[in-house]
Amino acid sequence: MDSYSSNDISAVVEADRAHVWHHLSQHKPYETVDPRVIIEGKGMRVWDARGKEHLDAVSGGVWTVNVGYGRESIANAVRDQLIKMNYFAGAAGSVPGARFAQRLIEKMPGLSRVYYSNSGSEANEKVYKMVRQIAHKHHGGRKWKILYRERDYHGTTIGTLATSGQAQRAAQYGPYPDGFVMVPHCLEYRKQWDVENYGLRAAEAIEEVILREGPDTVGCLVLEPVTAGGGVIVPPAGYWEKVQEICAKYDILLHIDEVVCGVGRTGTWFGYQHYGIKPDFVTMAKGVASGYAAISCTVTTEAVFELFKDDPTDTMSYFRDISTFGGCTAGPAAALENMRIIEDEGLLDNTTAMGARLMGNLRALMDKHAVIGDVRGKGLFCGAELVADRGSKEALDEKRVQAVVADCMAQGVIIGATNRSVPGLNNTLCLSPALIATPDDIDQITDAIDQALTRVCG
């Protein structure tokens, strides 16, 4: 960290304090303490404005930088592409756009079409628009409702917030458009039914909503393969099989939101691939180019695609949508190199191995810290739910959860926690280190949590 002088850095911090409105932040404290500014990153580590080194256990805060920081090969691929051809509107194709679509589809049997845009929210809204247009054109206006699940999150726009299963994300930004209907969450630790086969029961709860709404009104069901910001929820055994069956039974399109899980995070290319399901739509964003460029993809089947070209005489029947920056070539250029790195460095296997180590370490901490009520995860995507009492499962007070995060930060390890998500249940520590993590990195993360829990929770 030697390329900036301390005067430069102080000026940056002051400019930030004076003019930048940070995401998801209450700014009052920044009147007296410095806002956090990250200056540099390499591998798993970042350096802040004071020169302090941190091990990043959350891949850029929000499970994004899957291949780690400072990848010159991605920067070079983007640079070369920008000089050759930086942008043209997405009504035309581009060299990296075509190549990346082909490489992506190789990893997604059963799917065949890629629609580019530039954020996870936008990728999801594209699906909602497609579903609405299919309803208009092919179902006489019926099948227009979109079901989403309690505790899932699909984005920040008004349309995607209408499918927020996290009340605190959606609160105060309504009213929301009609036709978005919530189904119950599937977290067995916070049981809603006292049954043996919880996965089956949680899926049947979706069917109950479909029957209540009327199957001929429901066009699509959107689910995260593993719920991220809603508490790192891995669906119980039997859930996905039943969900697939229900969607087929009622002719409902299945949309899997892979914005977090996509491109390696859980140890497979996509989270849904653990469960043998066949989605009609898959959306992805964060890990697609590991944050080296903005890119998101809405991927669908040839059958869905056909519905938008089967009536060329109707001038309104094709997908009349554009995303200006979906035509930026930096995104697919970065995504191609990102995918090459994951393959050549064997990062899917590393994710599975290091994920097992992380889960093992967290489970071992449960013996020592009664405050850990539950540990959940898949690959390098793990959560530890903190409780005041294991018997009653009363959530640990949010301030103490945040104190654990702050203690880790003071130790130089950045971890996350569910935040302004589910009222009264913002109590899950979130871990999503880059897919390049080593055993030492994993142990450093869990050692920091161990020490933090000892200090904060006794």
Ligand X SMILES: Cc1ncc(COP(=O)(O)O)c(C=O)c1O
Binding residues (CB under 6 A) for ligand X: these are 62, 119-121, 124, 153-156, 224, 228-229, 257, 259-260, 285
Residue 175 beta carbon to ligand X: minimum distance, rounded to whole angstroms: 21
For ligand X, give the closer residue by CB, 49 or 226: 226
**CB contact set of 106 (below 8 Å; sequence gap of 6+):** none
Nearest-approach distance from CB 296 to ligand X, in angstroms: 7
Give least dist CB 62 to ligand X, A: 5
Residue least distant from ligand X (Cβ): 120
Nearer to ligand X among residue 159 and residue 236 (C-beta): 159
Q: How far is the CB of 285 from ligand X (least distance, A)?
A: 5
Q: How far is the CB of 115 from ligand X (least distance, A)?
A: 15
Q: Which residue has the tokens 């890119």?
A: 295
- Shortest separation between residue 364's beta carbon and ligand X, angstroms: 28
Contact 383, 399 (CB under 8 A): no
Q: Are the C-beta atoms of residues 244 and 254 closer than 8 Å to each other? A: yes
Taking Cα atoms as reference points, which of 327, 336, 335, 295 lies closest to residue 87? 327
CA distances for 72 relative to 68, 77, 208, 457, angstroms: 11, 8, 51, 42
Is the Cβ of residue 124 or residue 361 nearer to ligand X in the bound state? 124
Choose between 120 and 373: whose C-beta lies nearer to ligand X.
120
CB–CB of 370/390 below 8 Å?
A: yes
User: Would you give the distance in Å from CA 345 to the centre of its chain?
Assistant: 23
In this structure, is the dihedral angle defined by the CA atoms of residues 384, 388, 394 and 396, taken in order, positive or negative? negative
**Residue 62 DSSP symbol:** I
Residue 59 or 301: which CB sits closer to ligand X? 59
**137/140 Cα distance (integer angstroms):** 6
CB nearer ligand X, residue 169 or residue 201 = 169
Q: Would you give the distance in Å from CA 182 to the centre of its chain?
A: 19
Q: How far is the CB of 257 from ligand X (least distance, A)?
A: 5
Residues whose CB falls within 8 Å of the CB of residue 249, separated by 6 or more in sequence, listed in order = none
Residue 133 or 418: the one with the smaller Cβ distance to ligand X is 418
3-class DSSP assignment, residue 255: strand
Per-residue three-class SS string for 104-125 = HHHCCCCCCEEEEECCHHHHHH
Q: Whole-number minimum distance, CB 310 to ligand X, in Å?
A: 30
Nearer to ligand X, 256 or 448 (CB): 256
